[in-house]
Amino acid sequence: MNDRKARTTLVMASMLGSMLTPAFALQRAHDPLSSGQVDQVRELGDRPVDRIKLYLKFVNERASAIKELTPSSTENSRPAELRARFEEFTRLTDELSENVETYHGDRADIRKALRPLVDSSGKWEAVLKAPPPDHTYDFARTTALLAAQSMAEQAQKTLAEEETYFAAHKDEAGKNGKAPTPEQ
């Protein structure tokens, strides 16, 4: 009897795993940017300030979408849409963070992009916390909150470091540094 129960459990676990695997693969494969937006990002590979501002625009668009999807007391929630926006927000914030880190490491003067980033990133947490708890998107929201907090800290720290560096190296101010190769 135990052998039969073990086989049944194994078969059910196997079936569940095979059903969930394609869903997880699709979820990871979803790019939060349209092909036109990806082209815009690629075109700005040699212009750090503009590229960071473009990513900031995309992240702010997702924050606005989350805000619009947050139900009032009379509306029904759309948890699947909120989860998708939280996931897009997280992916775009991670991309933005990588760009800031890369350009800062290459000593590009990105202060003009960091100032609005510091301002915007300070507002994201309230937007992300506004929707009521829902098991459909709670994990995605927590991940988005962590990404937003990390980005806010990184932006503030990087801006302070850039201010110090370019105060001491005035001849390098306003330059793009060694820009990374645009994504293929």
* 20 lies in the same domain as 75: no
CA atoms within 13 A of residue 131's CA, in its CB half-sphere: 32
- Position 14 scores a pLDDT of 55
Our CA angle for 156, 28, 141, nearest 5°, is 50
> What is the domain range of residue 10?
1-30
Nearest to 101 by CA among 14, 36, 177: 177
Residue whose structure tokens are 């800290």: 153
The CA distance from 77 to 96, in Å, is 29
The CATH number assigned to the domain holding 77 equals: 1.20.120
- Position 3 scores a pLDDT of 57
* 2 lies in the same domain as 40: no
- Position 182 scores a pLDDT of 47
Number of domains in the chain: 2
- Position 130 scores a pLDDT of 93
Cβ partners under 8 Å of residue 5, min gap 6: none
Q: What is the pLDDT along the chain (184 residues), one digit of tens a residue?
A: 555 555 555 555 555 554 444 444 444 457 888 899 899 999 988 899 999 999 999 999 999 999 988 865 445 668 899 999 999 999 999 999 999 999 999 999 999 999 999 999 999 999 999 999 999 999 999 999 999 999 999 999 999 999 999 999 998 888 887 644 444 3
Number of Cβ atoms within 10 Å of the Cβ of 23: 9
Residue whose structure tokens are 């907090």: 149
Is 184 domain-assigned? no
Is 182 domain-assigned? no
The CA distance from 121 to 154, in Å, is 10
* 147 lies in the same domain as 97: yes
pTM score of the predicted model: 0.76
Q: Give the pair of three-digit tokens for residue 92.
A: 């775009």
